């Protein structure tokens, strides 16, 4: 790599590219602030003119509620379908209320049916009907059909605009048809072949179509890896299937196997992103709808329940310590060292737990290898216990000059790191078996186990051996 090449890596994007990094640059934000302060509407329009709708939506999300109101007063008339479909759920209702009705109606008419579904699904019936009334009858019917499927289902995710063809058509028939039709979706990548009863029976990629002669028959160029998705499938499964099989789009069928829509990979990618967000937030004990733009009240409301579940857990550990008050008052070193045993166990448990939750999410952990993984974790727990038990025994001996105390903490570490491994793998497996989300409550269970067992092993052994 030459020096000249290296320079390119740090190249800052130009405003013309409308790149996300530019949008959050201090200079940009200063200008935005000035413009909002001055109420300079033409200035605001000029500043945002070249930006992608997704970036404008991000700006709206990152403003404080007061500035956001000001922003929408100045820029409301410019909000289009692209921006609206990118606005985060957490502030969507707030934005919808501030938009002039005719702007909202125009924006909704521009959107694909799946984006309209996403926009209105959390609204109450009155607001929903008002927004949908902007659409013509057939578009409205398509949205309502989607809304009839369960929340978080493929039916909610799909768009109804699908390009289909009978399998006996030739390439020429298909091209002529597409040149004739006005309503084609903004983006599509396949033509789905359907039988007369609208059952999908294969698909042809547009690349293959373009590379074939006009008299070639569609049936003969259909892809062999054909895969349909039930409208009732959960969106997490849809994201998995797209990622696993590298799908670009997939037909969605109803309970009679009839084609009702199509899901494209960009929507599946967004779901994958949300699923990950849920996992990571749930593992940390944060409500899975948390967002950086939440208000103080929303944030407190999400976090209090999770902290509250930690109270009984912490009390259980405290109760174990209370059992050994006598031992502690005789040997205060026990109080000094006991959090170390608990904390090492908690960390080891979290490690195992996270690998297990992640393995379940990616389906790499299944009944076929569960037993082997449990055995591996137990062995790892034993080895780590021996390693860190020995380290802590040496430190303890150097600190307190007490060989028995050193032996006790070493043994307690071995026990607790094995318990941590066992709890870290069995708790998520059990929750998964019960149909619960393993990310949801595993953390509390596992740290309770490692705290309680950690304190009990250390203080119990100390009472038996030392006193």
Our finding on whether 236 is near a second copy (CB under 8 A) is no
| Residue of 44, 55, 162, 165 that binds a second copy (CB under 8 A) | 55
Q: Give the DSSP H/E element, type plus range, for residue 105.
A: helix 101-110
Our finding on whether 366 is near a second copy (CB under 8 A) is yes
Integer Cα distance of 433 and 298 in angstroms: 32
Judged by CB under 8 A, which stretch of 41-49, 53-61, 98-106, 119-127 contacts a second copy?
53-61
Question: At its nearest, how many Å lie between a second copy and the CB of residue 151?
Answer: 12
Our finding on whether 12 is near a second copy (CB under 8 A) is no
Dihedral sign for Cα 359, 361, 363, 365, please. positive
Q: Which residue lies nearer to a second copy by CB, 127 or 294?
A: 294
In the region spanning residues 149 to 168, those forming contacts with a second copy, defined by CB under 8 A, are 150, 163
In the region spanning residues 325 to 354, those forming contacts with a second copy, defined by CB under 8 A, are 325, 328-329, 332-340, 342-344, 347-348, 350-351, 353-354
How far lies 162's CA from each of 142, 194, 366, in Å? 12, 11, 36
Residue whose token pair is 């404008």: 56
In the region spanning residues 388 to 427, those forming contacts with a second copy, defined by CB under 8 A, are 388, 391-392, 395
Q: Which residue lies nearer to a second copy by CB, 101 or 289?
A: 289
Q: Residue 266 in contact with residue 233, Cβ under 8 Å?
A: no
Our finding on whether 227 is near a second copy (CB under 8 A) is yes
How far lies 388's CA from each of 178, 346, 415, 420, 461, in Å? 68, 14, 11, 14, 17
Our finding on whether 440 is near a second copy (CB under 8 A) is no
Integer Cα distance of 460 and 454 in angstroms: 10
Question: At its nearest, how many Å lie between a second copy and the CB of residue 48?
Answer: 14
Judged by CB under 8 A, which stretch of 40-48, 99-107, 133-141, 182-190 contacts a second copy?
182-190
Dmax (CA) for the chain in angstroms is 94
Question: At its nearest, how many Å lie between a second copy and the CB of residue 86?
Answer: 9
Q: Which residue lies nearer to a second copy by CB, 113 or 384?
A: 384
| Residue of 116, 268, 456, 462 that binds a second copy (CB under 8 A) | 268
| Residue of 37, 101, 322, 404 that binds a second copy (CB under 8 A) | 322
How many amino acids of this chain bind a second copy (CB under 8 A)?
Answer: 145
Our finding on whether 8 is near a second copy (CB under 8 A) is yes
| 166 three-class SS | strand
Judged by CB under 8 A, which stretch of 91-99, 193-201, 276-284, 429-437 contacts a second copy?
276-284
Both tokens assigned to 391: 């380290």
443-462 mask for a second copy (x: CB under 8 A)?
Answer: ----x---x---x-------
Judged by CB under 8 A, which stretch of 40-48, 69-77, 193-201, 223-231 contacts a second copy?
223-231
| Residue of 70, 77, 123, 178 that binds a second copy (CB under 8 A) | 178
Q: Which residue lies nearer to a second copy by CB, 118 or 377?
A: 377
Our finding on whether 36 is near a second copy (CB under 8 A) is no
How far lies 420's CA from each of 73, 350, 423, 454, in Å? 55, 8, 5, 9
Question: At its nearest, how many Å lie between a second copy and the CB of residue 46?
Answer: 18
Q: Which residue lies nearer to a second copy by CB, 53 or 108?
A: 53
Question: At its nearest, how many Å lie between a second copy and the CB of residue 367?
Answer: 6
| Residue of 39, 100, 172, 207 that binds a second copy (CB under 8 A) | 207
Count Cβ atoms within 10 A of the Cβ of residue 86 and give its class: 0-12 exposed, 13-18 middle, 19 or more buried: middle
Our finding on whether 121 is near a second copy (CB under 8 A) is no
Alpha helices in 362-402, H assignment, sequence order: 370-400
- Closest CA relative to residue 421, chosen from 459, 367, 389, 375: 375
- Closest CA relative to residue 340, chosen from 417, 276, 274: 417
Our finding on whether 54 is near a second copy (CB under 8 A) is yes
Integer Cα distance of 240 and 268 in angstroms: 8
Judged by CB under 8 A, which stretch of 16-24, 41-49, 98-106, 192-200 contacts a second copy?
16-24
Integer Cα distance of 212 and 110 in angstroms: 33
The DSSP line for 192-217 is EEE-TT--EEEEEEHHHHHTS-TT-B
Both tokens assigned to 363: 């389906």
Angle between helices 53-62 and 89-98 (to 10 degrees): 90
Q: Give the DSSP H/E element, type plus range, for residue 359.
A: helix 333-361
Question: At its nearest, how many Å lie between a second copy and the CB of residue 106?
Answer: 19
Q: Which residue lies nearer to a second copy by CB, 308 or 434?
A: 308
Our finding on whether 434 is near a second copy (CB under 8 A) is no
Our finding on whether 300 is near a second copy (CB under 8 A) is yes
Q: Residue 393 in contact with residue 407, Cβ under 8 Å?
A: yes
Integer Cα distance of 444 and 283 in angstroms: 9
């Amino acid at each position: 790599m030459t020096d000249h090449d290296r320079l390119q890596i740090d190249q800052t994007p130009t405003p013309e590219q409308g790149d996300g990094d530019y949008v959050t640059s201090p200079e940009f934000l200063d200008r935005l602030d000035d413009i909002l302060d001055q109420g300079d509407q033409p200035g605001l329009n000029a500043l945002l003119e070249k930006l992608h709708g997704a970036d404008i939506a991000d700006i709206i999300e990152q403003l404080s509620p007061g500035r956001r109101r000001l922003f929408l007063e100045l820029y409301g008339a410019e909000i289009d379908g692209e921006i609206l479909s990118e606005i985060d759920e957490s502030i969507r209702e707030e934005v919808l209320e501030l938009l002039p009705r005719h702007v909202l109606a125009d924006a909704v008419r521009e959107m694909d049916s799946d984006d309209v579904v996403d926009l209105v699904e959390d609204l109450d019936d009155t607001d929903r009907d008002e927004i949908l009334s902007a659409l013509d009858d057939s578009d409205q019917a398509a949205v309502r059909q989607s809304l009839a499927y369960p929340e978080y289902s493929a039916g909610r995710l799909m768009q109804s605009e699908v390009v289909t063809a009978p399998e006996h058509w030739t390439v020429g028939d298909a091209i002529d048809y597409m040149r004739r039709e006005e309503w084609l979706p903004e983006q599509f990548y396949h033509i789905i072949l359907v039988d007369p009863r609208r059952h999908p029976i294969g698909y042809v990629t547009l690349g293959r179509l373009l590379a074939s002669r006009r008299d070639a028959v569609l049936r003969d160029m259909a892809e062999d890896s054909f895969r349909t998705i039930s409208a009732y499938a959960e969106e997490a499964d849809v994201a998995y299937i797209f990622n696993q099989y590298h799908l670009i789009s997939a037909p969605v069928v109803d309970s009679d196997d009839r084609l009702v829509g199509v899901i494209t990979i960009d929507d599946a990618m967004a779901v994958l992103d949300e699923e990950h967000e849920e996992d990571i937030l749930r593992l940390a004990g944060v409500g899975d709808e948390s967002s950086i733009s939440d208000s103080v009240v929303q944030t407190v409301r999400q976090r209090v329940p999770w902290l509250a579940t930690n109270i009984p857990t912490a009390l259980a550990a405290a109760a174990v310590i209370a059992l050994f008050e006598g031992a502690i008052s005789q040997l205060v070193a026990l109080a000094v060292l006991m959090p170390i045993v608990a904390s090492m166990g908690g960390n080891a448990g979290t490690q195992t737990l996270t690998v297990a939750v992640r393995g379940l999410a990616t389906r790499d952990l299944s009944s076929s290898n569960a037993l082997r993984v449990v055995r591996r974790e137990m062995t790892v727990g034993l080895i780590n216990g021996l390693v860190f038990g020995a380290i802590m025994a040496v430190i303890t001996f150097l600190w307190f000059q007490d060989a028995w105390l050193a032996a006790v903490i070493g043994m307690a570490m071995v026990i607790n790191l094995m318990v941590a491994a066992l709890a870290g793998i069995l708790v998520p497996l059990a929750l998964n078996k019960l149909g619960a989300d393993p990310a949801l409550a595993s953390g509390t269970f596992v740290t309770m186990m490692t705290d309680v067992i950690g304190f009990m092993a250390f203080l119990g052994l100390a009472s038996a051996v030392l006193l």
